[in-house]
A = this chain, B = another copy of it.
Amino acid sequence: MYDVVTFGETMVRLSPPGQRRLEQTNTLEMGIGGTELNTACALSRLGRRVCWVSKLVDNALGRFIANKGREFGVDVGQIAWTGEGRVGTYFIEQAAQPRPISIIYDRRDSAITTLRPSEIDWPSLFQQARLFHTTGINPALGPNVARETKAAMAAAKEAGCKVSFDPNMRFNLWTVAEARRAFLELLPYVDVLFSPAEALDLFFDLKGEPIEAAQAARERWHLEVVVMGRRESLGQLRGAWSSLAVADQVCEGQRREFEVVDRIGAGDAYAAGFLHGYLDGDLAKGVAYGDALCVLKHTVPGDLPWLTMAEVEDLLAGGARSIRR
């Protein structure tokens, strides 16, 4: 029995040490990253039973990814393995103001893009799950992943699972118009939508105050809740975060400043925190845990949320400890 099933691609993540640039390095740090697995790992850290579904090549790189999921306690037993194809990679340069973080994705034609309908048995999977979470990167990965994403959402609904969706626009993968078309196909299945106000405007022309736009979105697609996060950049090395969840009532979190070690995966950690509360039927808890995980994730190198429940709870308890012996 799973609390959450997530579905999507994970890549090998390669980054020069410190703020070095790719052209000047001769070593790279190797990790993994993929929004849906990032969220799964954070949920597992919060004590949830989680399964991550994907397709991987059976070589050292594919095993590297599955190993890390397993290390976090995520069930990787539903992955479709293949002897062919490639594992996607991405190269990331950390930065300092005013230089932007720079990412080169090399994920074209990775194994997941070859996923065939027979490879994942969605109906069986969702019989033992409470919630299905995925993101808008999937349909951008090509027709096979787009089709399976929709099939998975449909199967989840059919099985009585909740469906959670984070559009996560990637301008390098497709256009806004393409994304809008894809999202409109998926939204009918969605219960929990993660979306900042600007995205509601950009994709769906829902203008106005955030809460109004969110209520309009809820109405249009019969969403249970719209979750809106806001990241403020104070240089590359500092930032602030706040969020709110709009359902029949509105839950608003607390704005928190933080120092940035690695911002990648912070939104994915937020989603995990929110869903943790949502699964308990407590949106305020969701906002609080989401905020805490998001802020803490900014302090951890890599995509993955190397955090503990104790640390999250300490932060929520208002503890401003700077050292913990």
Contact = CB atoms under 8 A, between A and B. Distances in A.
Contact of A103 (B260, B298, B323): B323
Contacts of A99: 296, 299-300, 311
A96 to B, nearest CB: 4
Contacts of A23: 60, 63-64, 67, 306
A96 B322 CA distance: 9
Nearest to A87: B106
Contact of A236 (B71, B256, B259): B259
A78 interface: no
B91 A298 contact: no
Contact of A30 (B28, B235, B237): B28
A26 interface: yes
Contacts of A170: 325
B324 A60 contact: no
A70 to B, nearest CB: 5
Interface stretch (A12-20, A123-131, A146-154): A12-20
Contacts of A27: 27-30
Given A14-B14, A61-B104, A302 B96 contact: no
Interface string A97-133: 1111111111011000000000000000000000000
6 contacts: A26-B26, A27-B29, A60-B93, A96-B259, A170-B325, A263-B323
B24 A306 contact: yes
Interface of A: 14, 18-31, 59-61, 63-64, 67-68, 70-73, 86-87, 89, 91, 93, 95-106, 108-109, 170-172, 233, 235-238, 256-261, 263, 295-296, 298-302, 304, 306, 311, 314-315, 319-325
A324 B64 contact: no
A103 B259 contact: no
A50 to B, nearest CB: 13
Contacts of A108: 86, 109
Oligomeric state, in copies = 6
Given A91-B60, A236-B322, A301 B259 contact: no
Contact of A24 (B25, B91, B100, B304): B304
Contacts of A96: 258-261, 298-299
Residue of A24, A101, A102 with most chain B CB atoms under a 10 A cut-off: A24
A95 B315 CA distance: 14
Contacts of A236: 259, 322
Given A29-B27, A30-B28, A86-B108, A324 B63 contact: no
A225 to B, nearest CB: 26
Contacts of A304: 24
Contacts of A21: 60, 300, 306
